[in-house]
Amino acid sequence: MSSSELNETLELRLKFDEQGLIPAIVCDVKDNSVLMFAFMNTDALAQTQRTGIVHFWSRSRQSLWKKGETSGESFAVEEIRVDCDQDVLQVIVKPQGQGKACHTGRRSCFYRKVEGAVLKFI
Amino acid sequence: MSSSELNETLELRLKFDEQGLIPAIVCDVKDNSVLMFAFMNTDALAQTQRTGIVHFWSRSRQSLWKKGETSGESFAVEEIRVDCDQDVLQVIVKPQGQGKACHTGRRSCFYRKVEGAVLKFI
């Protein structure tokens, strides 16, 4: 399938990288906020679709990762989107638990901004 | 720096991958919508900070890529955020041109959703 066909097809033709992974941007259905970013493999995506609860592939642990399994901070899937060339996913979710998606206890992993050569909390 | 120190530091300690790249999620300042996803290297980030216009590293062309240089669909930087472990950027932008961020002419690259084994336009 050519690149322009890939842009318009309604066939699911996901492109996983050489490690078998695809990036997944997780956004809150409430206001589109980016909550976190992680990777899925085919198994994580299949489990996510089957259960309606977001699963990732943990690169550090090299294992399937049901987000929130221990913390309770899981994500219910509202919608899964693909980008034009089908090598990135956007997963729109309804956060469960207390809405602390980040392991630091914050709502989102993106809680600092770059100001020149340093960071500031936002 | 330990992982928990990395989560709380105000030092910029970006983690680039083995290709020297860091993922960048581009969001519209207007409503947080994810517009596109690409990669930056240190040069692309430096040019982005210096000019206030988003630059990426094109993996296919292996060159610095000033987004919108030919199409006019550039992004003015509003804010650059980092995630907890500083290996992902979120770039909040004001789209220039006609607001067709995607090379297909759409506002966002994420214009299809996964419905089971197929896609639907959203």
pLDDT average, residue stretch A82-111: 97
Closest CB from B88, B112, B122 relative to A37: B88
Q: Residues of A numbered 11-40 whose beta carbons fall under 8 angstroms of chain B's beta carbons: which are they? A: 11-12, 23, 25, 27, 31-34, 36-37
- Any A CB within 8 A of B58 CB: no
Which positions in chain B touch A112 (Cβ < 8 Å)? Answer: 10, 81-82
Cα B34 versus chain centre, distance: 9
| Statement: residue A1 has pLDDT above 90 | no
Residue A76 structure tokens: 């219910």
pLDDT mean across residues, chain A: 97
pLDDT average, residue stretch A102-114: 98
Complex confidence, ipTM:
0.97
| CA-based nearest distance A35→chain B, Å | 9
Report pLDDT for B103. 96
Percent of chain A with pLDDT over 70: 100
Reported as a single tens digit per residue, the pLDDT across A20-50 is 999 999 999 999 999 999 999 999 999 999 9
Contact B10 A112 (CB under 8 A): yes
Reported as a single tens digit per residue, the pLDDT across B101-117 is 999 999 999 999 999 99
Report pLDDT for A44. 98
Chain B residue at shortest CA distance from A108:
B83
Reported as a single tens digit per residue, the pLDDT across B45-84 is 999 999 999 999 999 999 999 999 999 999 999 999 999 9
Contact B122 A49 (CB under 8 A): no
Report pLDDT for B1. 87
| Statement: residue B30 has pLDDT above 90 | yes
Contact A84 B90 (CB under 8 A): no
| CA-based nearest distance A62→chain B, Å | 17
Report pLDDT for A15. 97
SS3 track for chain A: CCHHHHHHCCECCCCCCCCCCEEEEEEECCCCCEEEEEEECHHHHHHHHHHCECEEEECCCCEEEECCCCCCCCEEEEEEEECCCCCCEEEEEEECCCCCCCCCCCCCCCCEEEECCEEEEC
Q: Identify the CA nearest to A92 among candidates A28, A48, A17.
A: A28
SS3 track for chain B: CCHHHHHHCCECCCCCCCCCCEEEEEEECCCCCEEEEEEECHHHHHHHHHHCECEEEECCCCEEEECCCCCCCCEEEEEEEECCCCCCEEEEEEECCCCCCCCCCCCCCCCEEEECCEEEEC
| CA-based nearest distance B78→chain A, Å | 11
Percent of chain B with pLDDT over 90: 98
- Any B CB within 8 A of A8 CB: yes
